[in-house]
Amino acid sequence: MRLEKLLSLTHGNAAYWSAFSAAGDRLATASLDNTVKLWSLPDGAHVGTLKGHGDGVCFVGYLADGRIATVGLDRTARVWPAEGGSAEITFTGHQDYLTSGAVQKSGMLLASAGFDKTVRLWDAQSGRSLAVLTGHTANIQCVALSDSGKLAASGGDDQIVHLWNLEAGTLLRTMPGHTRGIEGVAFSPDETRLASACADGCLKLWNLGGELIANIKTDAIPLKSVCFSPDGRWIAAGAADGAIRVWDYASEKLIATQPAHRNTVYGVTFSQDGKLFASTGFDRTIHVWRVIAEG
Partner 1 sequence: MNTARAGSPFCDGVSRRTMLKAGALAMGGLSLPQLLAVEEATGRKSQKSIIMVFLSGGPPHQDMVDLKMDAPVEIRGEFKPIPTNVPGLDICEHLPLLAQRMDRLAVIRTLVGSVGRHDAFQCVTGHGPLNQPPGGWPSLGSAVSKLQGATESGMLPFVGLAPRMKNRPWGDPGQSGFAGQAHAPYCPNAEQAQFGLNGLSLDQLHNRKALLDSIDRLNRQADKSGALEGLAKNYQNAFGLLTSSKLLDALDLEQEDPRVRDWYGRGAQENAGYGDAGPLMNDYLLAARRLVEAGVRVVTLAYGRWDWHGRPHGTNFENARDHLPIFDQGLSALLDDLHARGMDKDVTVVVWGEFGRTPVINKNGGRDHWPQVGCAMLAGGGLRTGQVIGATNKLGEHPVERPVHFQEVFATLYQSIGIDPATATLPDQGGRPTYLVDSMYSPLPELV
Residue 125's contacts (CB-CB under 8 Å, 6 or more residues apart) are 65, 108
Contact pattern for partner 1 over residues 117 through 156, marking x by CB under 8 A: ----------------------x-x---------------
Residue 10 or 125 with smaller CB distance to partner 1: 10
- Residue 259 pairs in a beta bridge with 243
Q: Which of 93-101, 125-133, 166-174, 184-192 is the region at the interface with partner 1 (rule: CB under 8 A)? A: 93-101
Alpha carbons 99 and 102: distance in angstroms, whole number: 11
The neighbouring-strand residues paired with 17 are: 30
CA torsion through residues 118, 197, 230, 283, sign: positive
55 touches partner 1 (CB under 8 A): yes
d(CA 60, CA 147): 16
If one asks whether residue 14 binds partner 1 (CB under 8 A), the answer comes out as yes
DSSP bridge partners of 98: 114
**Omega into 189 within 30° of 0, i.e. cis?**
no
Position 33 contacts partner 1 (CB under 8 A): yes
Q: Which of residues 204-263 bind partner 1 (CB under 8 A)?
A: 240, 262-263
Count of residues engaged in binding partner 1, rule: CB under 8 A:
25
CB of 66 to partner 1, least distance (A): 28
Under the binding rule (CB under 8 A), the answer on residue 114 touching partner 1 is yes
Separation between Cα atoms, residue 44 and residue 66, nearest integer Å: 19
Q: Which span sits near partner 1 by CB under 8 A: 75-83, 201-209, 268-276, 282-290?
A: 282-290
Residues binding partner 1 (CB under 8 A): 12-14, 32-34, 55-56, 58, 73, 97-99, 114-115, 139, 141, 157, 240, 262-264, 282-284
